[in-house]
Amino acid sequence: MNNLQLTKGKALPSAVFLFAMLFAPAAGTLPLRASIQNVQQSESITGTVIDNTGEAVIGASVLVVGAQATTGTVTDFDGNFTLKVKPGTQLKISFVGYKDKIVKAANGMRVTLEEESTMLQGVEIVAYGVQKKVTVTGAISSVKSEDLTRTSVGSAANVLGGQLSGVTTVQYSGEPGSDAADIFVRGKGTWGDYSPLIQVDGVERSMNDVDPNEIESITVLKDASATAVFGVRGANGVVLITTKRGAEGKAKISFSTSFTALTPTKMVDMSSSLDYALFYNKMRANDGLTPMFSDAVIQKFQDGSDPIRFPNTNWVDYTMKDVTLQTQHNMNISGGTDKVRYFISAGMYTQDGLFKEFDMPYNCGYQYNRFNYRANLDLKATNTTTISFNVAGNVNNSDKTPNSQNVQGFIKDIYSSVPFSSPGFIDNKLVLTASDYEDVQLPFKDMGHGLGYYRKGFNQISNNKLQMDLMLDQKLDFLTKGLSLKLKGSYNSAYTVTKTGTAGVATYVPILQSDGSIKYRKSGENTDPSYSASQGKARDWYFEGSFNYNRSFGEHTITALALYNQSKQYYYSSTSYPDVPRGYVGFVGRVTYDWKNRYMAEFNIGYNGSENFAPGKRFGTFPAGSVGWVISDEPFFKPLKKVISFLKLRASWGLVGNDKTTTGTRFMYLADPYYISSDGLASNAYSNADNHYGYAFGNGGVQADVTATKGAYEKSKNNPEVGWEKAFKQDYGFDMNFLDDRLRTTFDYYMEHRTDILLLDATVPTIIGFTVPYSNLGEVKSHGWELSLNWNDKIGNDFRYWAKLNLSYNFNEVIEMKEAPQKNEYMYQKGHRIGARSQYKFWKYYYDGAEADYEKEFGKPFPTQLVSTLKPGDCVFVDLDGDGKIDQSDMSRDYGYTDDPQYMAGLTLGFTWKRLTFNAQLTGAWNVSRSISAVFRQPFFRAADTLYGGLLQYHIDDTWTTDNPSQDAEYPRATWENAANNYAGSDLYEKDAKYLRLKTLSISYDFNNAAFKSIGMTKFELTLSGYNLLTLTPYKWGDPEAVASSSPSYPLQRTYTIGLNVGF
């Protein structure tokens, strides 16, 4: 197999493992089959019901014809059924959406149902189980595996945006291995923790741990009806990821491999040395200061005659590669018998970092490798017992720079760097300029250069995660028909090793010799990295036990669920009770009823306990109810059916909760904690806020390290009254199909009212000397709507095409946040969207005569601005409260949008024609903005000051100057003197970040032909695809999803992929 070469040297151990995984279970199936034969000696027959695509039909009823209606069964999750009848008995197989079929019973029979209507097929994953799609009354949307793997991405989160209605994603960063998008379900319902609960196979796990190739579907539960059973965790929506499982049949082998070229979507241009110097001097002249750069220096920059001592380095180009490589390989095998089914997968994902490593002896350029494995096994132990076992995990390695400020600090360093700080490498020496040349002096030197990471060491992080699930499904029909018991236990563990190397670097300063040559003065040495390692670990377990009941009585179908779950997470927090594991307990109940799939009602209840609250307040009850009505099934609807083939109305109401605070405070009800034996001195104790209460008494030794006398202090105040944060959610929607289901639409309108939000009351005096504990005082309201249109049709036999549009809108408003009292309403977050920024309202750049125009426009005298003397080109802000002066009480949250978009849209277009498949996905977001800050806002900004930092080309091109006194300039007059005014946070820097982007594009062709088929090949598909190929946006400061601030993101990537997918 040629994949060994494809994955290069590192893949060898993984490839060995992969094959071991593939063959071990396949060999194991043979003896099992023998034992199955024995079981079949009884009068039980087993069979499988599938549809015409080969998919299992779940929940199909299998009834003995002519017998009493109660003799029969229902197919299970995998379409299997077992019935105690003699072979040859007539059986009626029926399932909603399919035509009924009458067949003779035979052991091992396979019955293929024909679809009645494409719409009605299938099931929907719901909380703790599955439901027939037609009877679903909650707000749920889902996406299938093929939509997640059209192009190669590390995390499925990155291709969700625009695919699912009601889901907003923001991908802030492109950092390999850490580039997963933030997901919001129906926007933010609270300013606290708004991330949804993400479960993989029913257990809370990270989406990034799963190879997208292993995913069968991703389902998003949005309303209370769908999420109430998660009680404590469901308030922010739930994302359920279901991994693939084997289906009965011969082994299917699928192999896919892809190679991807990555390039940043957009980097920000930086100025040249000459422009830097000229702009600097101009800015000083603006403030009446002497020039910083002498004419001699400027001459050097201009003629470039002395490029080593007076260089001009574009640090973005110098340190970042134009293109890097990503590879993804996956091999999986699935299949099974009627007793054993399996899905086994192994995948490898590698991504190269964007940063050049030059001749460094180690990697630190943000490389990332991940190896995923998974085996999902289902074993039918008896006719009534199914045991399933999943084992999955991944090993990943990332190589990062040793910069303690992580990648943001690293990118920040580049944008804050000075173009003449270094010419880069000369004869393999890292040369840094100096400000003390004898002839012409640079005013400052290596205040920042883009090679800050060079030979400074490395930071290698290895993660090893292992996840296991064991499930038992026992049918209890002997107690009462339709009853079953499920038990599930899961265990997750992770182990992280972080190896850090810190090294010294030799740098060289150029010294001009009298003969004009340059010699170098060395400083420092290239040392071998000093080496340190630290370990991190995580383990948690989850247990669930449930009774399920599912039975039809004629046209009435009732299902019920009673479930208990409990989880424990060790090493949960590093700050709040780090030695104490976190636990949850939940009781879940659900009853659903439908009559002929026409009238549906459902009631859910979650009863959940949280460690955070006092006994007695600990448990919260979260009920939810929903109803549905398929109008199109009503007799009176018949005449309309030609146009409207299906119409269902849905409504749901319910309560969901949250127990987490933003700071991760735990056990909020206990006696006030004190911290004892703090032995750290007051210092830069960033990492441990507790440990700086020691004190250095005594005279100490002159050079001795100081030993602290230990200290103790009152750590915080607790509140025994604290309890659940609650969200009351309502959802009203309809599903409506037109023209024989060729066009399917779904619409939902929802409202959410979040109350008792946990917060710290900021209205209390600070001088009480302690921080008030969390209390249930906050309130947020949100609402929105979602629309999805899905057109799917065939022309002839060979051409199938589709178009799918999703549109989501979300509005939220803080109703109460207990903010510290302010002078003006507009200053509060209260009354505004969560995340609304506080900023001045920019009016115009100042000009002679602006005072009169201002007065004319606002009817009020021109206010004193933030500085006493304005010069033309300086920002003029609007005096919102009319008190004649601009101060913080004129900062309003009324302007601009927020980082998370109000509208998100996705459009998928595609077709298949014979063996050619084309798919394009466009994603757009609007009513979203970014506030540019730091070096993106202010020239020469760096963390320490605004004197020696970087300069973007934008400032040179688009700053108000006396030569170009334009009101349309992006930036005001450049100044240090009036910086407090001109670079104050205002809506001038609030930039529209709406975008429309071609998120993915893929074209594939299946080359499978007779020759291939003769060796058993079912597929040989070549795909060309891309990600983030094209972005239309008015936003200029990098990618519109990224952040242009003091912690700028790793650039988002545009990718071009060639992939091969082979099936046997």
Partner 1 sequence: MMLISIGLSACTDKVAFGDASLDKAAGSEATKDTVFSNAEYTRQFLVGIYAEQYYGLPYVNSSILPHSTNPYAGKSDALTDCWHMGWNGAAIYGQYYTGNLTANVTRSDKLDGPLFSFDGEHVWQAVRAAHIFLENVDKTPGIDATEKARMKAEARCLMAARMWDCFQRYGGLPIIDHDLGVTETTAEFPRNTVEETVNYMVNQLDSAINEPNFPWVTADPTTMSGRWTRAGARALKAKILQMAASPIFNPKDGQPYYQGASESVLPLIMYTDASKYQERWDRFYQACVDFFNDLNANGYYQLTQAEGSNPGVPQYRLAYRKGYFLRSSKEILHSVRHHGYDGYSAGRYCWHSWYSSSVPRNLYWPTQEYVEMFPWSNGDPFDWETAYNYVYNEDGTLKYTSAGTPNASARGLNSMFLRGTETALSQQLINVQLTRDPRLYEEVIVNGLQKNLDWTTGAMSGNIWELWAGGTDALTGITTQTGMFGTGYGYNKYYLGDGNQTGSGDNLRYQTQWVYLSLNEMYLMYAEALLKKSSPNIQQACEQVDIVRARVGLGTLRQRVFGNKAYSDAAYTQKINEGKIYESDALLEEILRERACELGLQDIRWFDMIRYRRTDWMTKQLHGLEMHRLKQNAQGQWVESDTQWTGADKINDATSRQPHYFTYKKVEIFGNKRDQWGKDPQSNDIRKWLLSPFPQIEINKGYGLIQNPGWE
Residues 868-887 that bind partner 1 (CB under 8 A): 868, 887
Q: Which stretch binds partner 1 (CB under 8 A): 44-52, 97-105, 440-448, 854-862?
A: 440-448
Report whether 389 contacts 211 (CB < 8 A). Answer: no
Contact flag: residue 714 with partner 1 (CB under 8 A)? yes
DSSP-derived 3-state class of residue 173: coil
Interface with partner 1 in residues 633-672 (CB under 8 A): 667, 670-672
Contact flag: residue 711 with partner 1 (CB under 8 A)? yes
Give dist(CA 152, CA 338) in Å, integer.
Answer: 34
Give dist(CA 174, CA 262) in Å, integer.
Answer: 10
- Amino acid letter for position 114: E
Cross-sheet strand order for the sheet of 238-243: 140-144, 215-221, 238-243, 197-200, 203-204
Burial status of residue 628 (CB atoms within 10 A of its CB: 0-12, 13-18, 19 or more): buried
Token output for 41: 């000696």
Report whether 454 contacts 505 (CB < 8 A). Answer: yes
**Residues in binding contact with partner 1, number by CB under 8 A:** 109
Among 146, 427, 579, 963, binds partner 1 (CB under 8 A): 579
Least distance from C-beta 170 to partner 1, angstroms? Answer: 23
Least distance from C-beta 887 to partner 1, angstroms? Answer: 5
Instruction: Give the x-and-dash track for 933-952 against partner 1 (CB under 8 A).
Output: -----------xxxx-----
Give dist(CA 427, CA 430) in Å, integer.
Answer: 8
Contact flag: residue 139 with partner 1 (CB under 8 A)? no
Judged by beta carbon, residue 16 or residue 289, the one nearer partner 1 is: 289
- Whole-number CA gyration radius for the chain: 32
C-alpha of 345 from chain center: 23
Contact flag: residue 585 with partner 1 (CB under 8 A)? yes
Contact flag: residue 543 with partner 1 (CB under 8 A)? yes
Among 713, 794, 825, 1016, binds partner 1 (CB under 8 A): 713
Interface with partner 1 in residues 267-306 (CB under 8 A): 284, 288-292, 294
Report whether 92 contacts 126 (CB < 8 A). Answer: no
Judged by beta carbon, residue 615 or residue 849, the one nearer partner 1 is: 615
Judged by beta carbon, residue 132 or residue 832, the one nearer partner 1 is: 832
Give dist(CA 883, CA 192) in Å, integer.
Answer: 34
DSSP-derived 3-state class of residue 854: helix
Report whether 693 contacts 713 (CB < 8 A). Answer: yes
Judged by beta carbon, residue 100 or residue 977, the one nearer partner 1 is: 977
Interface with partner 1 in residues 595-634 (CB under 8 A): 609-611, 615, 618-619
Chain position carrying tokens 């003769």: 1014
Closest-CA residue to 829 (of 778, 878, 887): 778
Interface with partner 1 in residues 174-203 (CB under 8 A): none
Interface with partner 1 in residues 52-91 (CB under 8 A): none
Q: Which stretch binds partner 1 (CB under 8 A): 595-603, 649-657, 714-722, 849-857?
A: 714-722
Least distance from C-beta 696 to partner 1, angstroms? Answer: 4
Interface with partner 1 in residues 305-324 (CB under 8 A): none
Report whether 775 contacts 721 (CB < 8 A). Answer: yes
C-alpha of 939 from chain center: 33
- In this structure, are strands 197-200 and 238-243 parallel, antiparallel, or unpaired? parallel
Least distance from C-beta 163 to partner 1, angstroms? Answer: 34
Among 495, 549, 577, 926, binds partner 1 (CB under 8 A): 577
Least distance from C-beta 542 to partner 1, angstroms? Answer: 9
Judged by beta carbon, residue 841 or residue 997, the one nearer partner 1 is: 841
Contact flag: residue 866 with partner 1 (CB under 8 A)? yes
Q: Which stretch binds partner 1 (CB under 8 A): 162-170, 266-274, 862-870, 1020-1028?
A: 862-870
Contact flag: residue 470 with partner 1 (CB under 8 A)? yes
Token output for 711: 């200290």
Give dist(CA 900, CA 707) in Å, integer.
Answer: 48
Report whether 32 contacts 57 (CB < 8 A). Answer: no
Among 496, 573, 838, 1018, binds partner 1 (CB under 8 A): 838
Instruction: Give the x-and-dash track for 668-707 against partner 1 (CB under 8 A).
Output: --xxxxxxxxx-xxxxxxx--x--xxxxxxxxx-xx--x-
Instruction: Give the x-and-dash track for 474-493 against partner 1 (CB under 8 A).
Output: -------------x-xxx--
Contact flag: residue 723 with partner 1 (CB under 8 A)? no
Interface with partner 1 in residues 370-409 (CB under 8 A): 389
Q: Which long-range contacts (CB under 8 A, 24 or more apart) does 31-37 make?
A: 32/337, 32/339, 32/340, 33/337, 33/339, 36/337, 36/338, 36/339
Report whether 38 contacts 44 (CB < 8 A). Answer: no
Least distance from C-beta 445 to partner 1, angstroms? Answer: 9
What are the φ/ψ torsions at residue 1038 (nearest 5 degrees)?
A: 100, -165
The tally of CA atoms less than 13 A away on the side-chain side of residue 166 is 33
Q: Which stretch binds partner 1 (CB under 8 A): 134-142, 258-266, 315-323, 577-585?
A: 577-585
Q: Which stretch binds partner 1 (CB under 8 A): 268-276, 359-367, 579-587, 633-641?
A: 579-587
Token output for 749: 């309108």
Interface with partner 1 in residues 415-434 (CB under 8 A): none
Q: Which stretch binds partner 1 (CB under 8 A): 300-308, 368-376, 468-476, 918-926?
A: 468-476
Judged by beta carbon, residue 167 or residue 505, the one nearer partner 1 is: 505
Interface with partner 1 in residues 979-1008 (CB under 8 A): 979-980
Give dist(CA 685, CA 694) in Å, integer.
Answer: 12
Interface with partner 1 in residues 957-976 (CB under 8 A): 976
Token output for 166: 């009601």
Q: For 632, left (φ over 0), alpha (ψ -120 to 50), or beta?
A: alpha
At a CB cut-off of 8 Å and minimum separation 6, what does 34 contact?
Answer: none
Least distance from C-beta 871 to partner 1, angstroms? Answer: 14
Judged by beta carbon, residue 888 or residue 966, the one nearer partner 1 is: 888
Closest-CA residue to 277 (of 92, 86, 418): 418
Least distance from C-beta 947 to partner 1, angstroms? Answer: 6
Contact flag: residue 719 with partner 1 (CB under 8 A)? yes
Contact flag: residue 889 with partner 1 (CB under 8 A)? yes
Interface with partner 1 in residues 734-763 (CB under 8 A): 761, 763
**Other residues' Cβ atoms within 10 Å of the Cβ of residue 144:** 12
Chain position carrying tokens 């001097």: 281
Token output for 538: 């995580």
Report whether 998 contacts 924 (CB < 8 A). Answer: no
Instruction: Give the x-and-dash track for 771-790 against partner 1 (CB under 8 A).
Output: -xx-----------------
Judged by beta carbon, residue 618 or residue 800, the one nearer partner 1 is: 618
User: Hey, what's the torsion of the CAs at 69, 73, 79, 82, to 10 degrees?
Assistant: -130
Interface with partner 1 in residues 1030-1049 (CB under 8 A): none
C-alpha distances in Å from residue 841, one per residue of 855, 865, 893: 16, 12, 10
Among 252, 481, 551, 717, binds partner 1 (CB under 8 A): 717
Judged by beta carbon, residue 59 or residue 202, the one nearer partner 1 is: 202
Least distance from C-beta 523 to partner 1, angstroms? Answer: 10
Judged by beta carbon, residue 826 or residue 1020, the one nearer partner 1 is: 826
Give dist(CA 386, CA 380) in Å, integer.
Answer: 4
In degrees, rounded to 5, the angle at the alpha carbon of residue 929 between the alpha carbons of residues 928 and 931 is 160
Contact flag: residue 835 with partner 1 (CB under 8 A)? no
Contact flag: residue 566 with partner 1 (CB under 8 A)? yes
Least distance from C-beta 466 to partner 1, angstroms? Answer: 12
